[in-house]
Amino acid sequence: LLDSGNLVLREENEGNYLWQSFDYPSDTWLAGMKLGWDLRIGLERRLTAWRSPDDPSPGELSWGFELHNYPELVMKKGSKKFFRSGPWNGNFFSGMPELQATPLYNFTFVSNNSEVYFMFEMIEKSAITRAVLNQSQSQYERYMWVEEKKEWSMFLNLPKDKCDSYNLCGPYGNCIMGESPLCQCVQGFKHKSLQTWNPEEWYKGCERSKQLSCLDKIGFHKFSGLKMPDTTFSLLNETMSLNECRVRCLNNCTCVAYSNSDTRNGGSGCAMWFGKLIDVRQMAANKEDANSQDIYIRMPASEQAVKNRQKMKVIVIVVVAIAVVFGVLLIPYCICGRKNLRDKMESNIMLDQNIELQSKDLEVPFFSLATIVIATNNFSSYNKLGEGGFGLIYKGTLTDGHEIAVKRLSRSSIQGLNEFKNEVILIAKLQHRNLVRLLGYCIAGDETMLIHEYMPNGSLDSFIFVKSDVFSFGILLLEILSGKKNRGFICPGQGVNLVAHAWNLWKECKSLELLDTCLEDCCIILEFVRCLHISFLCLQQHHEDRPNMSSVVMMLHGESLLPEPKEPASFIGKRLSLSSKNQSPSTNEITVTLLEAR
């Protein structure tokens, strides 16, 4: 029995396995286990659910690959399709974006003349995860072992909603969660019978608004963010470009749609569909998501021409409007430009003369403006890492190859030179594992900049370990959701701080009153409630009740049930007077910034 859980039979002096249990899975999928086909010997590795938790005999629910020209995973109840993954697009299966690489594990998909399989391998060896096919729930479930609680925690389940049901909307139907009715016709199609159409009879699907024949002039309309249709009647050519694929489909009267089979590196390969397009749903909230797989559906040329003319009108109107606005703005800019340039040069001369004197009090190196301009490629937008109320952050590379992060403070700041020097001195003396080290500063004209050590991009759980840090993350998450700062916040009429205020709303089922008004138009309510739930778990009074950061990452990635939070740690704040005479006269704008690499 290997550490992976694979029971193997092998000869004493040879590494080849004569037999292994991973070739005959039951209801559980482990790291290193191939799910799919060995075409050389005709072996299928397919998950089959237990009949019940107490009965390990094979149930009717199964999960494995269907061997089409363009293979995909299919969940079946008996012989009937129940859920379909969609084809692999180079990054993930088009209908299962949840099953893609995380900081804890990655996935591998192989399809050639010898094998077709899908498997996952652990990156973080200390983490333990497994996937199970659940007969009673009719779903695929992924669990993570939580060491603190000595139990398995589910963080992903499929199918995840009603639109995942196989062929719910029928031919040329598009299932869109949140819409009413749930099923819509793909653009260019209509319900089969508008007079007798019943929202409960979605399975009848749609038909073309204008019928096509092989003699008609045709074009293709692009659709983004969709789960690719059932590939039972499809062809795949991995060597063709998208343009070659279009020509091939255009010349074949029975070709209904085409797409790149691989979305990586700008797209490659050719997939073509024949017959009716079924089991389509809207996947991406943003239909122009860079990771989504575009599909081009055959349409009459007349309909395509109308759409093109409408697009052209919009483009012309936008271009003319931009030209007029640009012309109006350009005149005062030219007038003020010369004056601003002269004032800036005079200011630079005066400040540069005092730099040496000013830097004597500071214990960190001074960087010249020329050095920073060269390092950041003249503050190129390509090197921009982020921004906030303090200003912008850029990535830079010094002439010796050392990478830095430049915090360029906003010119609108009321912070004076002395306050800036105090900030430099203070940050230079701070040392903490979660703070990025200050390397130096720059003062030139009206430019004030802090030069930090560059921190490569990564997951927060790589840096946040102890439960006190998790508590701080909970505060940060709560501030993001509410748009309010915890420090100094006192709820009117209640005298409680932000944590206690949020908890009171949670208990009264009024959590949406906490939502930042800036997020109202773009926020998904279920995600907001889940994030608020996670913040309460991070804010528990006793550190042993708080999750570690790796568990928080899994909670944010998945959709599993979360443990019920206890009352979070909070305290009653003093009521603060809003009178201007009680406000602090300080103009110090010291900020604590987490630098995030591109």
How far apart, in whole angstroms, are the C-alpha atoms of residue 565 and residue 539?
A: 9
CA distances from 117 to 21, 62, 128, 477 (A): 16, 16, 22, 39
Rounded (5°) CA angle 404-407-412: 160
**Contact assessment for residue 303 and residue 188, using Cβ atoms and an 8 Å cutoff:** yes
Count of alpha carbons within 13 Å of 324, Cβ hemisphere only?
6
Our measurement of the distance from residue 151's CA atom to the centroid of its chain's CA atoms, rounded to an integer in Å, reads 28
**Contact assessment for residue 597 and residue 454, using Cβ atoms and an 8 Å cutoff:** yes
How far apart, in whole angstroms, are the C-alpha atoms of residue 534 and residue 545?
A: 12
Residue 98's nearest CA partner among 110, 85, 109, 87 is 85
**Contact assessment for residue 570 and residue 501, using Cβ atoms and an 8 Å cutoff:** no
Q: What is the DSSP string of 195-219?
A: TT--TT-GGG-EEESS---TTS-EE
Tell whether residue 407 is among the known ligand binding residues. yes
Instruction: Tell me which residue has tokens 């009108």.
Output: 313
CA distances from 510 to 371, 491, 586 (A): 53, 15, 37
Binding residues: 407
Binding residues for ATP: 407
